[in-house]
């Protein structure tokens, strides 16, 4: 087997400026290379995949030319194989799957049951270098390379270091989207040589972080624009409380730090066309057909089939950030009054607690410990209330999905939930609690229950939220105006 060092060798960087620089025509599109470690529908563990799958679809409709790059994971089946990568064309977008069976032909994307893969730095270092290599190989010189999270942050680093004198990337700028600042890609100093960077880059003003490598920190420093997935989260992460140790670095970036609220893909999340749910419905048929979805799910789960009992759904990672500590405190009271269905994977401490509660309340609580796309759709369609008591939330997609399915979200007002959920008492579409404690969570649940008892009032809110528009059309416009146009040498009237 070839060594890691051999796999990470760079191609010879071309120097013939005349043969590689972009033509400057009056109708030139913004050329974007979009890279992420997971993209729906090819691979998914969470919201990153949904965003990375939907945003390029919206951008290509706005006169952007895209190449989307991700690792070639085990279950991906490209339409065409090339030397070192596979390709598929979907909806006018070229997807490029970077191949290395040793690194990516595994059962999971990042972790095993025993924790993170020990070579994640090597894996995503290889991927980041190959992003640049393959762009040169296919002669796609982008205006923008859009990176996502720590797994692709090294692309921004290499663009400004190893490739700083490359004519091919001379006019290329980078955007880094932070989906969740908690995940930073921190590794031991001893692995620094893997990166192929000079040791002066292991410095407090570069990749060094309390004696370790911090890949996301490097991405933030070297990216031309950093954005988060909601305006409020962009503000919060510059504070010590929410900055996860990088608040100082982010404050230094404040002139090029923006927040763009995510959207959702209505081609995927739409009860009028959803093949996963029991009975399709629209705004006009929601009161009748949503009840059919609820009854079918209640029956399948072994719950009492009764529309008067409020069914609460939750599709989430089972971690502290998502409010599992609060949920643990109120479970007995909740399951004595309501029905609850939870889908997700996460920390053992919460899985074990929830498993015990499932045994105790088998007629009103079910727990499914896996990622199941079909079941997620069924929960959104069947539930009356969607539970999101997140301790913090960069953006959140579940509240937007639940709106579309006429399922009222109950949320802790934090981060992106502050930007996307207004309380029903203010003619909004959600139930909000502002203090992060179990008492306030139960108060919010009681408010939801009282509203549910008044079906006419409840249906007014359902009709309201199903008409909300959280499509990617709005968000893609913001990316173009606030980030891409600002950086790209493209005439403003071309998009």
pLDDT tens string, the chain, 495 residues long: the values are 333 333 333 333 344 434 333 443 444 789 999 999 999 999 999 889 999 999 999 999 998 999 999 999 999 999 999 999 999 999 889 999 999 999 999 999 999 878 899 999 999 999 999 999 999 999 999 999 999 999 999 999 999 999 999 999 999 999 999 999 999 999 999 999 999 999 999 999 999 999 999 999 999 999 999 999 999 999 999 999 999 999 999 999 999 999 999 999 999 999 999 999 999 999 999 989 999 999 999 999 999 999 999 999 999 999 999 999 999 999 999 999 999 999 999 999 999 999 999 999 999 999 999 989 999 999 999 999 999 999 989 999 999 999 999 999 999 998 889 999 999 999 999 999 999 999 999 999 999 999 999 999 999 999 999 999 999 999 999 999 999 998 975 434 444
- What is the β-pairing status of strands 385-388 and 93-98? unpaired
What pLDDT was estimated at residue 217?
98
User: DSSP secondary-structure letter at 461?
Assistant: H
pTM: 0.86
What pLDDT was estimated at residue 489?
56
What pLDDT was estimated at residue 415?
84
Name the one residue in this structure whose structure tokens are 């009032």.
457
3-state SS of 373-438 is HHHHHHHHHHCCEEEECCCCCCCCCHHHHHHHCCCEEEEECCCHHHHHCCEHHHCCCEEEECCCCH
Class of residue 490 by CB neighbours under 10 A (exposed 0-12, middle 13-18, buried 19+): buried
Name the one residue in this structure whose structure tokens are 């691979």.
43
- β-pair partners for 375: none
Spell out the domains of the chain, with CATH numbers in brackets.
30-263+473-494 (3.40.50.2000), 286-468 (3.40.50.2000)
Between the CA of residue 169 and those of 64, 71, 165, what are the distances in Å? 18, 22, 8
- CB 417 within 8 Å of CB 233: no
| 377 backbone dihedrals φ, ψ, rounded to 5° | -60, -40
Copy the structure tokens of residue 392.
């913090």
- β-pair partners for 257: 226
How far apart, in whole angstroms, are the C-alpha atoms of residue 113 and residue 20? 46
How far apart, in whole angstroms, are the C-alpha atoms of residue 365 and residue 394? 28
How far apart, in whole angstroms, are the C-alpha atoms of residue 226 and residue 247? 13
Q: At what angle do helices 438-453 and 324-337 cross, to 10 degrees?
A: 40
């Amino acid at each position: 087997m070839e060594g890691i060092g051999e796999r990470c060798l760079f191609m010879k960087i071309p120097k013939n400026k005349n043969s590689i620089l972009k033509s400057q025509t009056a109708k030139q599109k913004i050329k974007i290379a979009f890279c992420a470690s997971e993209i729906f529908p090819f691979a998914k563990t969470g919201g990153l995949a949904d965003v990375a799958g939907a945003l390029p679809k919206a951008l290509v409709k706005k006169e952007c030319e895209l190449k989307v790059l991700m690792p070639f994971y085990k279950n991906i089946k490209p339409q065409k194989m090339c030397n070192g990568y596979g390709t598929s064309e979907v909806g006018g977008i070229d997807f490029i799957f970077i191949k290395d069976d040793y690194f990516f032909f595994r059962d999971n994307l990042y972790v095993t049951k025993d924790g993170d893969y020990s070579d994640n730095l090597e894996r995503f270092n290889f991927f980041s270098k190959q992003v640049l290599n393959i762009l040169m190989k296919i002669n796609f010189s982008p205006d923008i390379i859009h990176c996502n999270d720590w797994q692709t942050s090294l692309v921004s680093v290499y663009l400004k270091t190893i490739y700083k004198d490359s004519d091919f990337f001379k006019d290329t700028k980078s955007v880094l989207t932070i989906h969740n600042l908690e995940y930073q890609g921190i590794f031991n100093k001893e692995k620094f040589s893997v990166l192929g960077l000079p040791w002066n880059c292991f410095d407090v003003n570069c990749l060094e972080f309390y004696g370790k490598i911090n890949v996301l920190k490097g991405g933030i420093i070297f990216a031309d624009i950093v954005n988060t997935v909601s305006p409020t989260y962009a503000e919060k992460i510059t504070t010590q409380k929410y900055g996860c140790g990088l608040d100082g670095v982010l404050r230094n970036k404040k002139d090029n730090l923006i927040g763009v609220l995510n959207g959702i893909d209505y081609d995927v999340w739409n009860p009028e066309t959803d093949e996963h749910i029991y009975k399709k419905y629209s705004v006009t048929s929601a009161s009748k057909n949503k009840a059919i979805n609820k009854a079918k799910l209640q029956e399948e789960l072994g719950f009492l089939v009764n529309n008067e009992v409020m069914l609460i759904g939750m599709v989430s990672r089972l971690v502290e950030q998502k409010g599992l500590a609060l949920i643990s405190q109120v479970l007995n009271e909740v399951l004595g009054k309501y029905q609850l269905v939870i889908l997700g994977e996460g920390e053992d401490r919460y899985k074990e607690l929830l498993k015990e509660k499932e045994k105790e309340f088998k007629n009103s609580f079910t727990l499914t410990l896996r990622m199941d796309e079909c079941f997620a759709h069924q929960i959104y369609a069947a539930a009356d209330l969607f539970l999101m008591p997140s301790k913090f939330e960069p953006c959140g997609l579940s509240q937007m999905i639940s709106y579309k399915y006429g399922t009222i979200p109950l949320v802790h007002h934090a981060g992106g939930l502050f930007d996307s959920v207004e309380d029903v008492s203010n003619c909004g579409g959600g139930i909000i609690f502002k203090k992060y404690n179990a008492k306030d969570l139960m108060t919010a649940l009681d408010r939801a229950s009282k509203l549910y008892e008044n079906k006419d009032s409840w249906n007014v809110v359902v009709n309201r939220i199903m008409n909300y528009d959280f499509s990617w059309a709005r968000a893609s416009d913001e990316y173009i105006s606030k980030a891409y146009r600002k950086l790209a040498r493209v005439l403003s009237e071309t998009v």
